[in-house]
Amino acid sequence: MNSEEEKLLHEICEKHEVNPKYLEILIKLEKEYANKNIGRRIGLFKEIREMIEYWTMY
């Protein structure tokens, strides 16, 4: 992510009261899945759901 994208991400997160680290982690996770298997991202949504459930507990 370049500095302009990072700045935009932080602005959007601030507007919606979301910790930007959460979205950075999710974006990184999606990129990892994209690099592994371009056609199918088996398990991606399950991992995203588990992360969000974990974050909402704390």
pLDDT at position 38 is 63
CA distance 30 to 37: 11
Question: What is the secondary structure of 13-43 as a DSSP string?
Answer: HHHTT--HHHHHHHHHHHHHHHHH-SS--TT
Looking up tokens 């899945």 gives 33
pLDDT at position 39 is 66
> CA Rg, the chain, in Å?
13
pLDDT in tens, 8-46: 999 999 999 999 999 999 999 888 888 876 667 778 888
CA distance 23 to 29: 10
pLDDT at position 54 is 92
Task: Note if the pTM is more than 0.85.
Answer: no
Burial class (CB in 10 A: 0-12, 13-18, 19+), 26: middle
Mean per-residue pLDDT for 42-52? 88
